[in-house]
Chain A
């Protein structure tokens, strides 16, 4: 129950956080724009007209946010589990390619089944790549940060190869696949806009993940893995299997996001589709600090900011990358803020320990976190 008592301050705290972050974004954005010699007011108006002025614009913001939400989940659950899968970018793209193939070559089917097939194929393609990286990490101790970053280049080039040679649509320019069959396309929700009924699918995924990560035992174990592998092991978790699961499921979500894009809006994979979307998802996961509802919120905010920046680019002539710059600056702030909290917490733990609570495992956890990475 929302009230002004200090005890249940979860919701107001979240609200304060959101408002504060938005305020900071607005201030940094205004400063950046003034430095670049544009009027923040004109830019603000352009941003409003481009994104919130009418059903079509709002539907566009929501439609763009849907794949970002899914890949943001992928990043969140991975980072929350203590693994840094930076290959989400290429896993998403391979998922889009796989979904595109399934949407065209798996002949006309009953539509819900065909859409599911597209999504599952995309998810599996991403999951396979992530599973390979995870296996190398878990069994051979190959650093997943570096291997996943390198895998991006290899996997994206492979997806482009698929679109250029074996699955190429001859009638199109170089490097585009066939348009998927109508039965594989998600039905439009509001006619004349890009918004499809896929929004319900994303809501369902969000609810399931919310339950898993904020309400279930599995979610607790997951967070424990992220805090300390040593503690997780002594709590009876099969660390290797769990690590495989964390990475693979994040890859699945990334691939799913790619296939979702194909089925909902793009309808075919072509070279350079969705470049950068995986990294956007990572940023969203980071700014949301790995919480499922926050990912949904920030994905919407992020897609709004991207489209607003496009509007500003058209009206004021500032490259739309300025939105990404502003967001990255804010995320650096978030990362540092987390670090500050951690420092305070560690200091408090040390203090409580000296006063006789004897929290040795907690101490070790803290130091393991610092040295393990």
Chain B
């Protein structure tokens, strides 16, 4: 039973930042400019959250700063690809690289450390007290250790799902990805919408980073996003524009990560359990592609 609790909490810890970043990815995918800099923006958000929390003394201000900086990063990304018409992939690759190097640089300059920073004065995001609900067998203890930001995910996903599929705004964002000329002829400002999408994406990555650095643990280490942004990207490509499938897929990959952590304690080479989440993500990507491939070949016959 301990195992279930352990794997559930590990899965939640892994999945929640991915879902936040994944929603950002979903918005950017719907608008037609898939942002592959989720990883870098998330990592930078984690750094800003840690630095702001340390200096301002409040994790809430840390989250706020991470979101504001995320919005600024998203705006800059948007200007580079929309106003200056840079290739979204090249800009995205460079952005990841730039932000990763920048966190190491700032870590050295501000805190004078290399690699990672942690301090007893660094407060994590408070956890939502569940009261008697914490006594629910199995899941109670896993759920009672979740932060407010983690719980905020549920309304965010509900809202995003509603906006995307049931509002004119969602229709416009999707139309932006399908046919920009149609959006333009409807009298909307395409450039401003694309910028707005990237800003929202950056904000979500900022929250994802804050949860990553101040949620389950309270520290920042260089490269701590460890490919979560890329996994989020893969999930977005897998599930397309279905927000709840995103949550489900992220949780499923989170479970493989939990199993991987457990397996590392067993007597197997540690590298294989570490590969697990990436390998499973890749495998899922291949299987979905295979299904699509079979479908099209059947139709063409």
Task: Name A's B-contacting residues (CB within 8 A).
Answer: 36, 84, 86, 136, 139-143, 145-147, 149-154, 157-158, 160-161, 164-165, 279, 282-283, 286, 318-319, 321-322, 324-325, 328-329, 331-332, 335-336, 338-340, 342-343, 373
Contact = CB atoms under 8 A, between A and B. Distances in A.
Pick the 4 closest A-B CB pairs, nearest first: A328-B98, A319-B108, A339-B85, A161-B271
B175 interface: no
Contacts of B285: 142-143, 146-147, 150
Contacts of A322: 105
B282 A338 contact: no
Contacts, number: 131
Interface residues on B, range: 35 or more
B142 interface: no
B256 to A, nearest CB: 13
A328 B278 contact: no
Interface in B74-122: 80-81, 84-91, 93-95, 97-98, 101-102, 104-105, 108-109, 114
A283 B290 contact: no
Contacts of A340: 84-85
A142 B105 CA distance: 35
Given A141-B289, A165-B269, A149 B227 contact: yes
Nearest to A133: B282
Contact of B98 (A36, A150, A325): A325
Contacts of B87: 335, 338-339, 373
A152 B223 CA distance: 14
A279 B91 CA distance: 14
B36 interface: yes
A336 B85 contact: yes
A324 B289 contact: no
Contacts of A318: 108-109
A36, A136, A150, A157, most chain B CB atoms within 10 A: A150
B156 interface: no
A163 B279 CA distance: 20
A325 B102 contact: yes
A141 B275 CA distance: 23
Nearest to B277: A153
Interface in B250-301: 269, 271-272, 274-275, 278-279, 281-282, 285-286, 289-290, 292-293
B108 A321 contact: yes
A36, A152, A328, A343, most chain B CB atoms within 10 A: A328
B293 A328 contact: no
Nearest to A37: B109
B233 interface: yes
Contacts of B226: 153
Contacts of A343: 85
A145 B293 contact: no
Interface of B: 36, 80-81, 84-91, 93-95, 97-98, 101-102, 104-105, 108-109, 114, 226-227, 230-231, 233-234, 237, 269, 271-272, 274-275, 278-279, 281-282, 285-286, 289-290, 292-293
A158 B91 CA distance: 30
A149 B39 CA distance: 11
B94 to A, nearest CB: 5
Contacts of B237: 143, 146
Nearest to B79: A336
Given A153-B278, A160-B271, A332 B94 contact: yes
Contacts of B81: 339
A142 B94 contact: no
B89 A336 contact: no
Nearest to B274: A157
Contacts of A336: 80, 84-86, 91
Given A143-B285, A165-B269, 15 more contacts: A146-B230, A146-B234, A150-B230, A157-B274, A157-B275, A158-B275, A321-B101, A321-B105, A324-B97, A328-B101, A332-B98, A335-B80, A336-B84, A336-B86, A338-B87
A339 B230 CA distance: 25
Nearest to A332: B94
Given A149-B227, A283-B97, A154 B86 contact: no
A322 B91 CA distance: 19
A165 to B, nearest CB: 6
Contacts of A282: 93
Contacts of B289: 136, 140-142
Nearest to B296: A141
B271 A324 contact: no
Contacts of A141: 289, 292-293
